[in-house]
């Protein structure tokens, strides 16, 4: 039986690593069929066709999930007094996810994002007008946490440099970026577990400018 690591499985199926993890969240019985070798998760070849983008069932699940997220986003935006509503009115450049290789607790994960913000600000200066919103979320299939975040670079000349800087800062972790699309449920997805306690923060954003 051929086994593939996450990168290889992503390339062969056309699915992102995050989508592959979501597939296993919905199919926990298949997760138990994966293997660990040299601290890397390996996926059986027989799973690839089930994960593949061309699989109708998988596409239907994705559409159903996206539709549900969009409905919940619309509900959030119906109340202008919510923080999510204010966040949605802001301009964002990228939606990202960082999955820490180490099993960091919530406090340590939270601190990592503050350090990343300070690192970029010190690297390029406050004149880049960096804005960051993030939430800490526990993994479903292992201990530790990952973070969903939105990033905005007020000085557009530095947008690409900031993204590259974040890649350097999180070089030991798994980092995914997508261009922010206000017509997709990025705000909902980043705040779906609620904005309470110490699992989230906003850095560098000016609400008065909204």
Pairing status of strand 174-179 against strand 94-99: antiparallel
Q: Which CATH number do you get for residue 198?
A: 3.30.70.1910
Q: Does residue 207 surpass a pLDDT of 70? A: no
Q: Is residue 59 part of a domain?
A: no
Q: Is residue 65 part of a domain?
A: no
- Domain count along the chain: 2
Report d(CA 95, CA 134) in Å as an integer: 10
User: Is there a single domain that holds both residue 156 and residue 197?
Assistant: yes
Pick left, alpha or beta for residue 27 (phi over 0 → left; psi -120 to 50 → alpha; otherwise beta): beta
User: Is there a single domain that holds both residue 120 and residue 49?
Assistant: no
Q: Does residue 150 surpass a pLDDT of 90? A: yes
pLDDT of residue 107: 92
User: Is there a single domain that holds both residue 105 and residue 41?
Assistant: no
User: Is there a single domain that holds both residue 43 and residue 109?
Assistant: no
pTM: 0.66
Q: Tens digits of per-residue pLDDT, 87-143?
A: 888 889 999 999 999 999 999 999 999 999 999 999 999 999 999 999 998 887 788
Q: Is residue 17 part of a domain?
A: yes
DSSP-H helix ranges across 32-133: 45-51, 56-77, 83-89, 106-124
- Name the residue range of residue 49's domain: 3-54
Report d(CA 158, CA 179) in Å as an integer: 15
Q: Tens digits of per-residue pLDDT, 59-78?
A: 777 778 777 777 777 776 77
Q: Is residue 84 part of a domain?
A: yes
On average, the pLDDT of the chain sits at 85
Stretch 29-51: mean pLDDT: 90
Q: Tens digits of per-residue pLDDT, 127-137?
A: 999 999 999 98
Q: Does residue 24 surpass a pLDDT of 80? A: yes
pLDDT of residue 133: 93
User: Is there a single domain that holds both residue 114 and residue 191?
Assistant: yes
Q: Does residue 209 surpass a pLDDT of 70? A: no
The answer to whether 151 touches 132, Cβ cutoff 8 Å, is yes
The answer to whether 71 touches 195, Cβ cutoff 8 Å, is no
């Amino acid at each position: 039986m051929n086994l593939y690591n996450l990168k290889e499985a992503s390339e062969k199926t056309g699915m992102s690593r995050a989508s592959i993890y979501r597939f296993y969240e919905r199919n926990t019985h298949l997760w138990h069929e994966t293997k660990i070798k040299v601290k890397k998760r390996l996926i059986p070849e027989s799973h690839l066709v089930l994960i593949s983008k061309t699989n109708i069932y998988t596409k239907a699940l994705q559409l159903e999930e996206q539709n549900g997220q969009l409905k919940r986003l619309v509900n959030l935006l119906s109340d202008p007094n919510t923080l999510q509503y204010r966040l949605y009115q802001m301009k964002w450049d990228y939606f990202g996810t960082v999955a820490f290789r180490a099993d960091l607790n919530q406090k340590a994960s939270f601190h990592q994002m503050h350090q990343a913000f300070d690192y970029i600000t010190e690297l390029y200066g406050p004149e880049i007008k960096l804005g960051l919103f993030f939430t800490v979320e526990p993994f479903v299939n292992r201990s530790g946490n990952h973070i969903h975040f939105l990033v905005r670079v007020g000085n557009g000349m530095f947008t690409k440099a900031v993204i590259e800087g974040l890649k350097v800062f999180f070089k030991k972790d798994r980092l995914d970026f997508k261009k922010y699309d206000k017509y997709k449920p990025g705000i909902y997805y980043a705040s779906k577990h609620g904005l309470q306690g110490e699992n989230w923060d906003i850095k560098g954003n000016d609400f008065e400018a909204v």
